[in-house]
Structure 1
Amino acid sequence: MVSFIYRSVYEGPSGRLVRHFPDATVLDWFRRVWNEAGAGDAYEWVTRELGANVYGLSTIFETGLPAPQSTAELHRLLEEHLYVEQELRVDEHSVRVLTDDDDVMLAYFFVEDALVAAEPERWAYLLHDGWELPNLPPGFSAGRPFTPPVATWTPTPAPPGGEGTTYAVVLTFYSTFDSIGWNTPACFPGIRLPQLTATLRETDALIDKWSGEPAVLRALVAPGEDEIGPALERCNRWPDFERDIPETYGAHQQAHEVALRLLEVFEPSRGRDPHRTIIRQSEHVAQMAIHINGRSGYRQWFIFDDVWAAAHPDLAASLMHHGSHWDPRCHRNHGIGECAP
């Protein structure tokens, strides 16, 4: 089987579109559809058969050239005729593309089952059904400890005698060319998710170095709250994550009071609809698909601890890869450029 994955902010809460085809190889898929897609309006064919206007993909079917006979020939044709704004990577079992539509970056992948089976820690989240992560399996008992597969940043020091680790993957962006693959996961050592709210309240260290969303989340945790869910609900009404507000970087009580005053005057704009946001929380994983605007939809926030990650190691690892690089096969942590699997 061949899977097609479209990573696009236009694709609802998950930011992904997934389709599966019965072809044995990626080359077989291209050979099977080559003449059919090119016989009429290739743009309409791609939109109909794949379920979305996959940016630039139709151009490969508009050449009038014969279908490729080998992976090497497919690679050459894609290099010469596929409209790609950023990068194209082809190997024996996958095609991976990064492009942009001048507003946001977009990525799409054709991948064979054999490669997914060999690299589940790279593909599990991309092929996961929907945006919502599963809870712990009933009766789960932690086995092998989870090790993050990519670099992380540490907002707070580990408390004395603390246990476990909590991670946060916030998939967000503020400009076209930073809109995929620049979200370094945060790592909170020495705590698990039930202790996160207390840790956020108690720390004043290096808050001014935090990125927007974690700093806002800290400011919106209320005194005495034991769960992160209510703070996520408040984040859903935060006016502007791009706006830098120095008062939210101070001592927690002051930061919280300032943040609450800003919530009082929140008015949705640019098509933002807080009622469309989805928030879920359980003991070891919290998540939010926050609706940001009318055109590019949602951003995804995931917070989970090592207990959840030990139960779902491939899903946790691939989610961290998903945040830190556009190409699931790349072994670099960030960005655009050469990286061999």
Structure 2
Amino acid sequence: MVFFIYRSVYEGPSGRLVRHLPDATVLDWFRRGWDEAGSGDAHEWIERELGAGVYGLSTIFEIGLPAPRSTAELHRLLEEHLYVEQELRVDGHSVRVLTDDDEVMLAYFFVEDALVAAEPERWAYLLHDGWELPDVPPGFSAGRSFTSPVATWTATPAPPGGEGATYAVVLTFYSTFDSMGWNMPACFPGIRLPRLAATLRETDAPIDEWSGELAVLRALVAPGENEIGPALERCNRWPDFEQDISETYGVHQQAHEIALRLLEGFEPSRGRDPHRTIIRQSEHVAQMTIHIDEYFGHRQWFVFDDVWAAAHPDLAVSLLHHGSHWDPRCHRDHGIGECTPRGRQYRPASSPGAGA
């Protein structure tokens, strides 16, 4: 079996489209496409076959050349004839493409089930059904702690005697060329999710170095709240995550009062619909798919701790990879311009943005 995955902001609350294809190999799917798409309207065939008009994919079936007989030949034809704005990567069991439509980055993958089985920590989130993460199973007891194998940035120092860690993966963007894999996941060492709200109130970390979303979340945690869910509800009514909120970088009480004033009179624009946002919280995972505007749809926010990650290790690692790079097979051991992360490229809330 071959899996097709389309990573696109246009694909609803999850930002992903997944299809199971009956072909034995990726090469077999492309060879079938050569026969079926090449004899008619390739774009229409792709929409029927994959469930979306995958940007640029139809071009490979419109070249009028013989179908590839090997993976190497497929790679050559894709390199020469597939319309790709960014990157193309092909190996014996997958084709991975990063492109853009002049508005946002888009990525799509054809991957064989054998590779998925061999690398579950790379593909689990991409193939997860829907946007919502599962809870920790009842009675679960972590046999060992979880430490992220994916690079993160430290949001707050670990408290003395603290235990565990909490991670935040915020899938958001501000411009076409920073719309996928640019916002490195954050880590709050020494605390678990039930302690996060208090940590956000008490921290003296430099908030001006945080992403705009986390800075807003911190400011919207109310005094005395022990859960992060109510602050996520307030984030759903935040006017603009690109606005300058440097006045909220001070002590929390003042930051919270300023943030509440900024919430007053919130009027959705650009087709934004807070009623289409979905928020879920349990003891060890909080999550939100926030509806931002009509055209670009939703953004996904995930906050989970090491207990949740230990219960779902493949899903946790896959999600951390998903937040930090477009290519699930990136191992971060390549040179600049390949898979090495581009540093802490989160965007402070005071930075100007463009696009979505």
Tell me the TM-score normalised to structure 2 length: 0.93
Report the counterpart of residue 111 of structure 2 in structure 1: 111
2:222 and 2:43 mapped to 1: Cα distance?
A: 50
**Post-superposition shift, 1:14?**
0.4
Specify every segment of 5 or more residues in structure 1 that has no aligned partner in the other structure, as ranges: none
**Post-superposition shift, 1:30?**
0.9
**Post-superposition shift, 1:118?**
0.7
CA offsets, 1:230-251, max 9 Å, x none? 0000000000001121111111
1:335 and 1:45 mapped to 2: Cα distance?
A: 38
1:216 and 1:66 mapped to 2: Cα distance?
A: 55
CA offsets, 1:56-94, max 9 Å, x none? 000000011111100001001101110000000000000
CA offsets, 1:243-301, max 9 Å, x none? 12111111100000000011112110011110000000000000000000110100000
On the 8 A contact 2:333/2:339 being kept in 1, the answer is: no
2:93 and 2:333 mapped to 1: Cα distance?
A: 22
Task: Identify if the C-alpha distance between structure 1 residues 303 and 225 changes in structure 2 by more than 3 Å, giving closer, same or farther.
Answer: same
1:166 and 1:267 mapped to 2: Cα distance?
A: 33
1:273-288 map, 5 Å: 273-288=273-288
Structure 1 residue matching 2:102: 3-state secondary structure: coil
**Post-superposition shift, 1:335?**
11
**Post-superposition shift, 1:191?**
0.6
Report the counterpart of residue 141 of structure 1 in structure 2: 141
Report the counterpart of residue 224 of structure 1 in structure 2: 224
**Post-superposition shift, 1:337?**
2.7
Q: CA RMSD, aligned part only?
A: 1.4
Does residue 197 of the first structure (1) align with residue 197 of the second (2)? yes
**Post-superposition shift, 1:221?**
0.1
2:172 and 2:145 mapped to 1: Cα distance?
A: 28
Structure 2 residue matching 1:38: 3-state secondary structure: coil
1:65 and 1:224 mapped to 2: Cα distance?
A: 67
1:105-254 map, 5 Å: 105-254=105-254
Specify every segment of 5 or more residues in structure 2 that has no aligned partner in the other structure, as ranges: 341-356
On the 8 A contact 1:150/1:333 being kept in 2, the answer is: no
Task: Identify if the C-alpha distance between structure 1 residues 96 and 209 changes in structure 2 by more than 3 Å, giving closer, same or farther.
Answer: same
Greater than 6 Å deviation, 4+ residue runs: 333-336
Report the counterpart of residue 354 of structure 2 in structure 1: none
Q: Name the count of aligned residue pairs.
A: 340
Task: Identify if the C-alpha distance between structure 1 residues 81 and 40 changes in structure 2 by more than 3 Å, giving closer, same or farther.
Answer: same
On the 8 A contact 2:193/2:304 being kept in 1, the answer is: yes
Report the counterpart of residue 308 of structure 2 in structure 1: 308
1:329 alignment partner AA: R
Structure 1 residue matching 2:154: 3-state secondary structure: coil
